């Protein structure tokens, strides 16, 4: 059976990993070759990720690459680009589905386009919509999704909390909802990459780690503000932040304002983060919301103590009332400082129990577990 993936992205977001690892799970474990996966490239975005798609079949809607010309960075620019992708891909995507007749189309991003196409055209293809993160559910989006829900085969949710949220909202019929954990953990790959050396300037230092795009959602201003207090009690510790984004200048100014230039380091985007996670004292996610939170799961697998925002979505479910880590109040740097103090005063036995519980939970997100559940969804 043919399975097409639709996921036009604009930046280095976790969805890129979700798509490529989902397809690679099929390539790795579908020994009978029952499933034939493809990525649909809308504007050339996937050819910016050649290292991630070398074993994946890609169908291009356009021969020319105009992804690099799309506006990027910030809410307004992203919305403009999404509209451009929607309009430019409308006819091309419709023709592709009509011609190739895939058994399934799995939509991760800009799902409004396939939803509309499936309403207009009576495709025999089955549409699977993956709820990515925690979308803002205004009246228009609720109405649009509800109106077009009859054309959806399944709506997959990455966590139980999102499943319950949509179950209660009653936008989609309950029988169309399914939990499908993202394929985050590639055991062999992570165990190989964690051995690589980190920047020599930090290899012998004790540091707290955080990873993500430098955007408002990731809330690194809160983390840096909290670290300023933490560092007063633990002066030797550093804070490393990996990632790029539109808030870089703002964060650099905050670091200067707090006189933390020799304490907090913005190291930019790294192709390998596992070696940094492996060496870190602990991992902190300060995001306003995540679902599930890829890096939280990766840190869990690498036996790290994890701190995360209690945002009633992914991190709250993963850390389970702080039994698997430390949850702090959303957008409250003082509570993060308080939880870090609790951590510093905890016994080794208490910390190890949290680490063991979290590592056990993280195994739900292995590539093999994802493949088993995805195959059941497709074949059944």
Under a CB-based contact definition with an 8 Å cutoff, are residues 296 and 269 in contact? no
SS3 content of the chain, % helix, strand, coil (to 5): 45, 15, 35
Q: Give the mean pLDDT of the chain.
A: 91
Reported as a single tens digit per residue, the pLDDT across 34-75 is 999 999 999 989 887 877 788 899 999 998 888 888 888 777
Length of the chain (residues):
380
Q: What average pLDDT score do residues 209-232 get?
A: 95
Nearest CA to 185 out of 40, 293, 57, 281 is that of 293
Q: What is the pLDDT of residue 134?
A: 59
In tens, the pLDDT along 181-205 reads: 999 999 999 999 999 999 999 988 9
| Furthest C-alpha separation in the chain | 65
Report the phi/psi class of residue 280: left, alpha or beta, with left for phi > 0 and alpha for psi in -120 to 50: beta
pLDDT value, residue 178: 94
Confidence grade of residue 150 (pLDDT, cut at 50, 70, 90) = confident
Global pTM value: 0.86
| 176: confidence class by pLDDT, cuts 50, 70, 90 | very high
Q: How many CB atoms lie within 10 A of CB 288?
A: 15
Residues 32-44: tens digit of each pLDDT: 899 999 999 999 8
The domains located in the chain, with CATH, are 2-180 (3.40.50.2000), 188-362 (3.40.50.2000)
Sheet strands side by side (includes 207-211): 264-268, 238-242, 207-211, 282-285, 305-310, 326-329
**Which whole number is the average pLDDT over 217-244?**
95
């Amino acid at each position: 059976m043919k399975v097409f993936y639709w996921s036009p992205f604009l930046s280095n977001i976790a969805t890129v990993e979700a798509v490529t690892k989902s397809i690679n799970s099929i390539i790795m474990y579908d020994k009978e070759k029952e499933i034939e996966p493809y990525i649909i490239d809308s504007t050339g975005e996937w050819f910016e990720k050649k290292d991630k798609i070398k074993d994946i079949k890609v169908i291009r809607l356009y021969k020319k690459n105009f992804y690099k010309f799309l506006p990027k960075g910030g809410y307004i620019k992203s919305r403009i680009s999404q509209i451009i992708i929607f309009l430019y891909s409308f006819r091309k995507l419709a023709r592709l589905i009509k011609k190739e007749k895939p058994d399934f189309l799995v939509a991760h991003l800009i799902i409004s386009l396939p939803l509309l196409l499936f309403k207009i055209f009576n495709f025999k293809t089955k549409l699977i919509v993956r709820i990515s993160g925690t979308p803002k559910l205004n009246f228009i989006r609720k109405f649009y999704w509800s109106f077009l829900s009859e054309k959806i085969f399944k709506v997959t949710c990455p966590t139980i909390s999102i499943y319950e949220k949509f179950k209660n909202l009653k936008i989609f019929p309950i029988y169309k909802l399914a939990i499908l954990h993202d394929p985050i953990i590639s055991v062999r790959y992570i165990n190989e990459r964690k051995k690589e050396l980190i920047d020599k300037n930090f290899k012998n230092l004790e540091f707290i780690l955080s990873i993500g795009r430098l955007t408002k959602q990731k809330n690194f201003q809160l983390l840096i503000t909290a670290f300023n207090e933490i560092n007063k009690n633990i002066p030797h510790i550093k804070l490393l932040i990996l990632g790029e984004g539109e808030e870089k200048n703002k964060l650099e100014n905050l670091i200067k304002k707090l006189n933390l230039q020799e304490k907090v380091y913005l190291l930019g985007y790294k192709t390998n983060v596992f070696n940094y996670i492996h060496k870190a004292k602990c991992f902190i996610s300060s995001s306003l919301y995540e679902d599930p939170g890829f890096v939280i799961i990766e840190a869990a697998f690498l036996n790290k103590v994890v701190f995360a925002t209690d945002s009633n979505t992914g991190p709250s479910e993963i850390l389970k009332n702080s039994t698997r880590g430390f949850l702090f109040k959303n957008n409250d740097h003082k509570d993060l400082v308080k939880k870090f103090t609790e951590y510093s005063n905890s016994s080794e036995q208490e910390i190890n129990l949290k680490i063991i519980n979290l590592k056990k939970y993280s195994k739900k997100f292995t590539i093999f577990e994802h493949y088993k559940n995805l195959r059941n969804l497709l074949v059944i």
